[in-house]
Amino acid sequence: MSSHRIKVLSKDIVNKISAGEVVERPASVVKELVENSLDAGSGSISIEIQKAGKQSIRVSDDGSGMSSEDTELSCRRHSTSKISSSYDLENIKTLGFRGEALASISSVSNMCITSCVDSEQGATEICLEGGQVVDKKIVGREKGTTVEVRNLFFNTPARRKFFKTDATEFSHIVNVVGHFILAAPDIEFKLIHGNKNIFHVTKDMDLKDRIGCVLGEDLANNLIKIYFNDALFKLCGYISKPGYTRKKRKNQIFFVNKRYVQNATLSHALYQGYFSLVERGRYPVAVVFIKIKPDQVDVNVHPAKLEIKFLNQSIVHDKFKYAVNQTIQNFKLESGREIGFDKNVKFPKSNKNKSGFAKPNGKNIEFDFERKKGIFEKLSYDKYIKADGNRYYQLNNTYIVDVLPDKIKITDQHAAHERILYELFSKAIEERKIQKQNLLLPERIDLSKEDIILLEQQLKLFKTIGFEIEDFGQRSFNIQAIPAILKERNTRNIFRDILDDIKELGKNKANVTEEIIKIAACRSAIKAGDKLSEQEIESLLRNLKNCKLPFTCPHVRPVQIEINIKELEKRFRRK
């Protein structure tokens, strides 16, 4: 028996392992190929997808192209034209630099690269299967490069199994392409799925137009410009008007030196920049470009290059926070009026400079820091006398205290309503009927492409639980009817929150319908902090009584706590 068990792995296996890091799903291939096209100085990039990328992904550009030798070299591991020394590694100006993407992708697919530097000399086409070159020829092509990737993971069946549904995989692609459309506002992009035109943004569409196209008009109409500039740090883009927030952080899109990144420092600074205007659990929107010296960021901390590290995190944090802060203040001063804040939120005072916030007409603006504290720290209550002389209290607009002859029942209003709606929606699905309320004026909602793709998948389910939705052209939908139980609520917001949550689903969730019902119940339910009328309290408690499982919400949190006399006596050790 040989004396050593450790072997140096073959090139083939090394490539496959590395492909595991770079290529997680079809969308990762799209990301790497488009990055290469951008690095090659293209003006127009076209992305054609078949079967959500599971069948094929083809990216064509009009960039620099590659010579015949380079075309072949490009698929070797650690081959790149973008850096050559470790100095370069600290001063990266391109999106790619690891020299791994094409090698990794080609090792787990069938790939053809066609590239041309000068159309008179023709183009080189190289085809690889599982990383091995199987064909090389000269063909005709304009200057630029086309890379086609077919049968991703054909030789690693275990990974193919991890593909999600077409809708999910394609929504990831839409998301990735959307980021590029925003990141490179001077470049034309086309995204085609099968025979469907998903995006076509032309060079004359500016950032605002593109935000409307990618993230929805509704969001685009609620933005203000942000700008900041000093020696270290330049920043521009858009952030949401105070009062416009979303349920998920997904609509905080940051580009650092044109690279889309996810970064907690930036999210935190943004949040803080809004003073305390943002409700807990909601997120302001941002499409922000940061330009910083390349040696001030480390982009080499994540195989897919999605995360970065700032050399000096706290400076970046404070400058960004300051920029947001100023933008909000100026906006408030300029508009000089209430600007669609959430109902009770008023503009807070600055700690430093009280006089800086006078309205243009000279009157001081009233400030209110108390809203959140009022809900979460102080105790407040409203009292209602019932017909039988007993009382209800609504504590902190959150808990309903029902004083009965022999006990006190405390109900969490959100959890209770969630439980009621959950059972109602489940029943509607079982029996195929639900009480609907037609809207006099249909609510129009503008959605992002990604939302529309998800919504189209779930239209039937929405219909069963009472949402009548009609496609209203390119990017918007009309809500014609809602579940009767939701009348007089802000349907549009509820609906958008439901969609935001559905987007996060899909990861190994066996029963999607069940999950969506839970989401719909949670998002449609009254919230902690909502003031209820006596009738609303009565109907909530009555409906809860009729529930099959009134004790926990669908997320298994308690709905009601009861304290009876016996319990009190026990607690005070009277018996």
We find the least distance from the C-beta atom of residue 487 to Mg ion, in angstroms, to be 53
User: Which residue pairs, CB below 8 angstroms and at least 24 apart, start in 351-356?
Assistant: 356/329
We find the least distance from the C-beta atom of residue 101 to Mg ion, in angstroms, to be 4
* Nearer of residues 308 and 522 to Mg ion, judged by Cβ: 308
Q: Distance between CA 266 and CA 288 in Å, rounded? A: 10
Q: Distance between CA 447 and CA 475 in Å, rounded? A: 6
Neighbours of 279 (CB within 10 A): 16
**Which region, judged by CB under 6 A, interacts with ligand ADP, from 74-82, 162-170, 362-370, 462-470?**
74-82
Residue position matching structure tokens 């100085």? 41
Q: Distance between CA 398 and CA 471 in Å, rounded? A: 37
Look at residue 91 and give its three-state secondary structure: coil
Q: Kindly tell me which residue out of 26, 53, 63, 212 binds ligand ADP, with binding defined by CB under 6 A.
A: 63
Is residue 64 part of the contact set for ligand ADP (CB under 6 A)?
yes
Is residue 81 part of the contact set for ligand ADP (CB under 6 A)?
yes
Q: Give per-residue burial for 77-108: e unless 16+ CB within 10 Å, then b.
A: beebbbbeeeeeeeebebbbbbbbbbbbbbbb
Residue 444 vs residues 248, 410, 449, 511: alpha-carbon distances, Å:
21, 38, 16, 30
Residue from 249, 245, 251, 248 nearest 279 by CA: 245
* Nearer of residues 301 and 403 to ligand ADP, judged by Cβ: 301
We find the least distance from the C-beta atom of residue 153 to Mg ion, in angstroms, to be 19
Q: Distance between CA 342 and CA 351 in Å, rounded? A: 22
Is residue 345 part of the contact set for ligand ADP (CB under 6 A)?
no
Q: Distance between CA 545 and CA 552 in Å, rounded? A: 12
Q: Kindly tell me which residue out of 92, 102, 220, 485 binds ligand ADP, with binding defined by CB under 6 A.
A: 102
Is residue 491 part of the contact set for ligand ADP (CB under 6 A)?
no
**Which region, judged by CB under 6 A, interacts with ligand ADP, from 34-42, 46-54, 313-321, 499-507?**
34-42
- Residues ≥6 apart with Cβ < 8 Å to 56: 48, 49, 50, 148, 149, 150, 151
Residue number, nearest CB to Mg ion: 96
Is residue 74 part of the contact set for ligand ADP (CB under 6 A)?
yes
Q: Kindly tell me which residue out of 15, 28, 46, 80 binds ligand ADP, with binding defined by CB under 6 A.
A: 80
Is residue 40 part of the contact set for ligand ADP (CB under 6 A)?
yes
* Nearer of residues 20 and 506 to ligand ADP, judged by Cβ: 20
Is residue 125 part of the contact set for ligand ADP (CB under 6 A)?
no
Task: Write the interaction track for ligand ADP spanning residues 3-32; mark x where CB under 6 A is met and - where it is not.
Answer: -----------------------------x
Which tokens is 283 given? Answer: 């997120």
We find the least distance from the C-beta atom of residue 162 to ligand ADP, in angstroms, to be 23
* Nearer of residues 236 and 304 to ligand ADP, judged by Cβ: 304
- Residues ≥6 apart with Cβ < 8 Å to 564: 406, 407, 408
The vertex-133 CA angle with 132 and 136, nearest 5°, equals 170
Q: Distance between CA 41 and CA 38 in Å, rounded? A: 5
User: Where in 128-157 is the site for ligand ADP (CB under 6 A)?
Assistant: 145
Q: Kindly tell me which residue out of 99, 122, 374, 442 binds ligand ADP, with binding defined by CB under 6 A.
A: 99
* Nearer of residues 99 and 506 to ligand ADP, judged by Cβ: 99
Residue 552: left if φ>0, alpha if ψ -120 to 50, beta else—which one?
A: beta
We find the least distance from the C-beta atom of residue 102 to Mg ion, in angstroms, to be 7
Q: Distance between CA 486 and CA 562 in Å, rounded? A: 28
Q: Distance between CA 489 and CA 477 in Å, rounded? A: 18
Give which of ligand ADP, Mg ion, none residue 61 binds (C-beta under 5 to 8 Å, depending on kind): ligand ADP
Residue 230 vs residues 265, 316, 323: alpha-carbon distances, Å:
19, 12, 11
Residue position matching structure tokens 């480390």? 298
| H-helix or E-strand spanning residue 126 | strand 123-129
Q: Distance between CA 50 and CA 192 in Å, rounded? A: 9
* Nearer of residues 192 and 410 to ligand ADP, judged by Cβ: 192
We find the least distance from the C-beta atom of residue 190 to ligand ADP, in angstroms, to be 15
User: Where in 178-197 is the site for ligand ADP (CB under 6 A)?
Assistant: none
Residue 404 vs residues 164, 175, 538, 563: alpha-carbon distances, Å:
52, 53, 14, 10
Give which of ligand ADP, Mg ion, none residue 40 binds (C-beta under 5 to 8 Å, depending on kind): ligand ADP
Which tokens is 447 given? Answer: 């959605």
Residue pair 57/174 in contact (Cβ under 8 Å)? The answer is: no
Query: How many H-runs (helices) and E-runs (strands) does the chain carry?
Result: 18, 25
**Which region, judged by CB under 6 A, interacts with ligand ADP, from 91-99, 201-209, 366-374, 444-452?**
91-99
Give which of Mg ion, ligand ADP, none residue 308 binds (C-beta under 5 to 8 Å, depending on kind): none
Binding positions for Mg ion, rule: CB under 5 A: 36, 96, 101
* Nearer of residues 16 and 371 to ligand ADP, judged by Cβ: 16
We find the least distance from the C-beta atom of residue 190 to Mg ion, in angstroms, to be 20
**Which region, judged by CB under 6 A, interacts with ligand ADP, from 75-83, 171-179, 288-296, 303-311?**
75-83
Q: Kindly tell me which residue out of 15, 18, 28, 36 binds ligand ADP, with binding defined by CB under 6 A.
A: 36
* Nearer of residues 35 and 169 to ligand ADP, judged by Cβ: 35
Residue position matching structure tokens 């209290």? 393
Alpha-helical regions (H) of 469-511: 491-504
Is residue 418 part of the contact set for ligand ADP (CB under 6 A)?
no
Is residue 98 part of the contact set for ligand ADP (CB under 6 A)?
yes
Look at residue 209 and give its three-state secondary structure: helix
Tell me, by CB under 6 A, how many residues bind ligand ADP. 23
Give which of Mg ion, ligand ADP, none residue 64 binds (C-beta under 5 to 8 Å, depending on kind): ligand ADP
We find the least distance from the C-beta atom of residue 200 to ligand ADP, in angstroms, to be 20
Is residue 66 part of the contact set for ligand ADP (CB under 6 A)?
yes
* Nearer of residues 82 and 463 to ligand ADP, judged by Cβ: 82
> Which residues form the interface with ligand ADP (CB under 6 A)?
32, 36-37, 40, 61, 63-66, 74, 79-82, 96-103, 145
